[in-house]
Amino acid sequence: MNNTNKLSIGNKISLIHRSGANYLTTNYLKYHIGFGQYQYLINLYLKDGLSHDELTHLVKMDKATTTRSVNKLLSLNLVRIEQNPLDKRKYCIYLTDYAKSIKDDIFSTATDWEEKLLSDLSESEIILLENILIKISNNI
């Protein structure tokens, strides 16, 4: 019997998370992006110009972690920060042209990982898995 089957559900989720973090980090090395920055970058690809607070809420991290990740993206010339024209006390985070130029590769790598995860599942199993994960996520 495979020892993986003896693990608790939490351990299996942790294994998937760590494997995914390792896969993405390895594939994003050429851009010097780690797993932490990847989550912020993806959210900015989905909606450019988010505020620090909006980004913090979307990735479900604390403000200090968001600040570190945004500063890393800033140092890599992947984002720029501009004052919000509607509220001078706030700033918006925008993708640079360089970040936009690597978007397809960033998404392609993420898609490859997801396809690897789901390759042995049927369409109905994927739908069931998504529904279960939504329920689990709502519990936290």
CATH number of the domain at 132, please: 1.10.10.10
Dihedral of CA 82/105/137/3: which sign? Answer: negative
pLDDT at 2 over 70: no
Domain that holds residue 19: 3-139
Cα separation of 37 and 72, whole Å?
A: 7
Number of domains making up the chain: 1
Give me the chain's average pLDDT, please.
Answer: 92
Using pLDDT thresholds of 50, 70 and 90, give the confidence band for residue 86: confident
| Tokens 């959210």 found at | 43
Does the predicted model carry a pTM greater than 0.95?
no
CB 21 within 8 A of CB 35: yes
The two tokens of residue 115 are 């396809």
